[in-house]
Structure 1
Amino acid sequence: MANAMIWWVSDCTFCKIVAGRLPSYRVLEDEYTVAFLDIAPASPGHTLVVPREHAADVWTISETAHGHVARMVHRVAALLKAALAPDGVNVVHSTGEAAWQEVFHFHTHVVPRRHGDDLRLMWSSQPAPSRELEQTLELIAAAR
């Protein structure tokens, strides 16, 4: 298989997995991405999808590489549905320590779900007042 990795970070765990320098349980891979089982799964089949080329987070990954990851996430979700017949699936990404990112190589979690499993919501929130939403939208519009 051709290796599209242009650069990698020597102390990055996921770069080492992509390069075959650390063992992994590979689910799927292509020229641009690798999907492997999480070694501390939230549920059976919990899979991580990473780009072959190192990018720390959603702010640094190229739009093209992000698209490759998204396509692989779609393929992995379909494979997990066929293989494990889950009731649902969570697709989760975190950027930054404040968002619980632990490995600083862009990755997306594909987590099969079952009714009654013990996984909980990541957050609990209430509807925001209209004025707060309007102010936030104004800030976003000003940054375009």
Structure 2
Amino acid sequence: MADCVFCGIVAGSIPAFLVASSPAGVAFLDIRPVFKGHVLVVPRAHVVELQDLDPDLLSSYFRFVQLLSAAVPTAMGAQGTFVAMNNIVSQSVPHLHTHVVPRTKGDGLRGFFWPRRKYDSDDEAAAVAETIGKEYLRLSVTDSGRRE
């Protein structure tokens, strides 16, 4: 879709701090993260809501999200993740996206109040994206040596 920011990121025409890419989707850093390492995962096709996602893509899309939810805490030194998706309400970009947010006990996040932060610089954001991307690649290699 020509006027969709996330479609532009998927196409490479809009810059983003790319974390990982798979046939199922693209993962990149949220520019207004709840915590540093907050990743957005989007399907390649333009769909607005989860119910619009082709059922044949559900498994591969959520496997991609699952691997990123394992990569983020390791890469960011966190204890876990908060994984969330909005449909229409609170969806700042009308393109399906899944938030993968690093969490640590006592990090101050309460309920659905999401204070936003910024990266200190583009270099810091690029380094965080690269670190998570490397961990994703490590996790996505199966026992047979092929990538998911």
TM-score between both structures, scaled by the size of structure 1: 0.74
CA contact (8 A) 2:28 2:39 kept: yes
Q: Secondary structure at 2:51's aligned position in 1?
A: coil
For residues 65 and 14 of structure 1, the distance between their equivalents in structure 2, rounded to whole angstroms, comes to 18
User: How much does 1:29 deviate?
Assistant: 0.5
Match of 1:63 among 52, 55, 72: 55
Q: Which amino acid aligns with 1:118?
A: G
Which position in structure 2 is the counterpart of 1:118? 108
Which position in structure 1 is the counterpart of 2:64? 72
Which position in structure 1 is the counterpart of 2:36? 44
Match of 1:12 among 4, 8, 11: 4
Which position in structure 1 is the counterpart of 2:95? 105
Please identify runs of 4+ aligned residues in structure 1 that moved more than 3 A: none
For residues 12 and 20 of structure 2, the distance between their equivalents in structure 1, rounded to whole angstroms, comes to 14
CA contact (8 A) 2:24 2:64 kept: no
Q: Which amino acid aligns with 2:67?
A: R
Identity of aligned residues (%): 40
Which position in structure 2 is the counterpart of 1:128? none
Structure 1 range deviating more: 12-21 or 84-93? 84-93
The superposition leaves residues 75-129 of structure 1 with CA deviations (integer Å, 9 ceiling, x where unpaired) of 11121122112122110000012xx111111110000011221222028xxxxxx
**CA RMSD in angstroms, aligned pairs only:** 1.4
TM-score between both structures, scaled by the size of structure 2: 0.72
Count how many residue pairs are aligned between Structure 1 and Structure 2: 113
CA contact (8 A) 1:50 1:107 kept: yes
Q: Which amino acid aligns with 1:15?
A: C
Gaps of 5+ in 1: 1-8, 124-144
CA contact (8 A) 2:85 2:99 kept: yes
Q: Which amino acid aligns with 1:79?
A: A
User: How much does 1:44 deviate?
Assistant: 1.0
Gaps of 5+ in 2: 114-148
CA contact (8 A) 1:47 1:109 kept: yes
For residues 58 and 30 of structure 2, the distance between their equivalents in structure 1, rounded to whole angstroms, comes to 20
Q: Which amino acid aligns with 1:102?
A: S
